[in-house]
């Protein structure tokens, strides 16, 4: 699974789900706090890291 918003997105996460199992994820922007200053860098060189995605256990 991966997230996409327009041209940016997250890295891909592979996972398996067993019948009856629930899987939860959370996501957000990688550009929080001082990283907002790196917006142009992320937009041009790392669009697949604009967002983060992780599985919640």
Q: Give the pLDDT band of residue 42 (cuts 50, 70, 90).
A: confident
Q: What's the gap between Cα 16 and its chain centre?
A: 18
Please check whether residue 54 lies inside any domain of the structure: no
pTM here is 0.75
Domain range for 29 is 1-13+23-49
Please check whether residue 18 lies inside any domain of the structure: no
Please check whether residue 55 lies inside any domain of the structure: no
Q: Which of 27, 34, 35, 32 is nearest to 10 (CA)?
A: 27
pLDDT at 35: 86
Q: Which of 33, 32, 31 is nearest to 46 (CA)?
A: 31
Please check whether residue 28 lies inside any domain of the structure: yes
**CB under 8 Å to 52, separation ≥6 — which residues?**
10, 11, 27, 28, 29, 30
Cα–Cα separations (whole angstroms), residue 17 to 35, 56, 57 = 34, 13, 13
pLDDT digits (tens, 9 = 90+) for 4-28: 988 889 999 999 999 999 999 999 9
User: How many structural domains is the chain composed of?
Assistant: 1
């Amino acid at each position: 699974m991966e997230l996409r918003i327009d041209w940016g997105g997250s890295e891909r996460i592979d996972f398996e789900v067993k019948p009856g199992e629930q899987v939860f994820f959370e996501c957000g922007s990688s550009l929080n706090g001082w990283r907002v200053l790196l917006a142009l860098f992320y937009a041009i060189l790392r669009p697949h890291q604009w967002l983060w995605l992780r599985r919640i256990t």
